[in-house]
Structure 1
Amino acid sequence: MGIADLLRGVEGQGAFGVWLGRADGTAVFTHEAERTHYSASTMKLPVAMAMLRKVDAGELALDQPVTVHNDFASAAGGRFGVNRAEDEAPATWEKLGSDVPLSWLAREMITRSSNLATNLVLELVGAEAANAVLAEYGKDESVIRRGIDDSPAQQAGISNLMSPAGLAGVLVAVSNDESGQYLRDLLAANEWNGEIPAGVPAGTRVEHKNGWDLRIRHDGGIVRPADADPFVLVVCTTSELADRDAQQLIAAIAAEAWQHRHDLGAVR
Structure 2
Amino acid sequence: MTETPTPAIAFRISRADGDVLAERDPNLPFYPASTVKLAVLAAVGRGLESGALQLDQPVRSTDRFPSLVAGAPDFRILPGDEDPGMPPPGTPMPLAEVAERMIVVSSNEATNLLYDVVGFPAVNQVLADAGAVNSGVHRKFSDLAASRAGLPGNVITARDLGKLMEAVVGGRLADHHWTAWMCDMLSRQELGVIGTRVPTGTRWGSKSGWVDGIQHDVAFIGEPGPTTLVIAVCTRGFDEPQGEQCIAALTDLALAKAQRRDDASNAASS
Q: TM-score higher than 0.5 here?
A: yes
Give the secondary-structure state (helix, strand or coil) at the position aligned to 2:79. helix
Q: Distance in 2 between matches of 1:74 and 1:132?
A: 22
1:235, distance to aligned residue in structure 2 (A): 0.2
Q: Corresponding residue for 1:171?
A: 165
Q: Is 1:263–2:256 an aligned residue pair?
A: no
Establish whether residue 114 from structure 1 lines up as the match of residue 107 from structure 2.
Answer: yes
Verify the 8 A CA contact 2:195 2:205 in the aligned structure 1.
Answer: no
> CA contact under 8 A between 2:212 and 2:239: conserved in structure 1?
no
The 5-angstrom pairing of residues 193-232 of structure 1 reads 193=192, 195-224=193-222, 230-232=228-230
1:52 aligned to 2:45? yes
Aligned-partner Cα distance in 2 for 1:147–1:138: 22
- Corresponding residue number in structure 2 for 1:235: 233
Q: For residue 16 of structure 2, what is the aligned residue in structure 1? A: 23
Residue 192 of structure 1 aligns with an amino acid whose one-letter code is L
Structure 2 residues without counterparts, runs of 5 or longer: 264-270
Same amino acid, percent of matched pairs: 33
Q: Deviations over 1:126-162 (max 9, x none)?
A: 1111111112214322110011111111112331001
**In 1, Cα distance between the equivalents of 2:199 and 2:76?**
36
Whose strand fraction is larger, Structure 1's or Structure 2's?
A: 1
2:76 alignment partner, SS class: coil
Structure 1 stretches of 5 or more lacking a match? 1-11
Distance in 1 between the 2:73 and 2:138 partners? Answer: 15
Kindly provide the amino acid, as one letter, of the partner of residue 209 in structure 2: G
1:140 to 1:45, Cα distance in 2 relative to 1, 3 A: same
| CA deviations over 1:29-53 (Å, ceiling 9, x no partner) | 0100111100100001111111121
Assess, with a 3 A threshold, how the Cα gap between structure 1 residues 112 and 154 changes in structure 2: closer, same or farther: same
User: Could you tell me how far 1:164 is from its partner in structure 2?
Assistant: 0.7
AA aligned opposite 2:187: A
Taking the aligned partners of 2:47 and 2:121, their CA distance within structure 1 comes to: 13
TM-fit CA distance, 1:201: 2.3
2:101 and 2:113 map into 1 onto residues whose CA distance is 11
What is the match of residue 190 of structure 1? 189
- Write the distance in 1 (CA, Å) between the matches of 2:261 and 2:79: 41
Residues 22, 231 of structure 1: 8 Å contact kept: yes
Cα-to-partner distance string for 1:95-116 (whole Å, 9 max, x where unaligned):
3221110000000000000000
Distance 1:151 1:235 in 2: 26
Instruction: Give the distance between the partners of 2:120 and 2:199, measured in 1 at CA.
Output: 37
For 1:247, the equivalent position in structure 2 comes to 244
User: Deviations 1:209-261 (Å, cap 9, x if unpaired)?
Assistant: 00000110000010118xxx52000000011x221111111011101111223
Q: Is the 8 A contact 2:12 2:26 kept in 1?
A: yes
Q: Corresponding residue for 1:140?
A: 133
- Equivalent residue pairs, number: 250
Measured in 2, the distance between the counterparts of 1:82 and 1:206 equals 33
CA contact (8 A) 2:161 2:218 kept: yes
Question: Is residue 154 from structure 1 mapped to residue 147 from structure 2 by the alignment?
Answer: yes
- C-alpha RMSD over aligned residues: 2.1
1:37 aligns with 2:25: no
Which one-letter code corresponds to 2:83 in the other structure? A
Residue of structure 1 in register with 2:267 after alignment: none
